[in-house]
Amino acid sequence: ETGVTQTPRHLVMGMTNKKSLKCEQHLGHNAMYWYKQSAKKPLELMFVYNFKEQTENNSVPSRFSPECPNSSHLFLHLHTLQPEDSALYLCASSQDRTGVAFFGQGTRLTVV
């Protein structure tokens, strides 16, 4: 248990569906991250939030929409995804800019 919880663990969705990934951290951290992990590729940083403010949007397509209602919760809203979006989506949190991040177990997303 890392203190970062992601739900659901697995998700299969069609290209026309709308779904959301949820991340919750109980560590009192002020920064939260979404990463995409695909086979044989580096972890791709998608979004960074610091104190609920988005500080980084790493050229992510608009079909991915993040939401950070408070410093403990982070969502990733998904709509009209493509099969190449199938991957493991990881949430992480950290305190300030230390880079010491705590990761969730991830959501395994399959787009059919």
Partner 1 sequence: AQSVSQHNHHVILSEAASLELGCNYSYGGTVNLFWYVQYPGQHLQLLLKYFSGDPLVKGIKGFEAEFIKSKFSFNLRKPSVQWSDTAEYFCAVILNDYKLSFGAGTTVTVRA
Of 9 and 77, CB closest to partner 1: 9
Residues 60 to 89 in contact with partner 1, rule: CB under 8 A: none
Provide the CA 107 distance to its chain's centre, in angstroms.
8
Give the bridge partners for 110, in sequence order: 12
Provide the CA 96 distance to its chain's centre, in angstroms.
18
**Smallest distance from partner 1 to CB 22, Å:** 16
By CB under 8 A, residue 34 contacts partner 1: no
Give the bridge partners for 6, in sequence order: 23
Tell me, what amino acid is at 107?
A: T
Residue 80 to residue 27: CA distance in whole angstroms: 33
Stretch that binds partner 1, among 14-22, 50-58, 60-68, 72-80 (CB under 8 A): 50-58
Q: Which residues bind partner 1 (CB under 8 A)?
A: 2, 4, 31, 33, 35, 40-43, 45, 48, 50, 55-56, 58, 90, 92, 94, 97-106
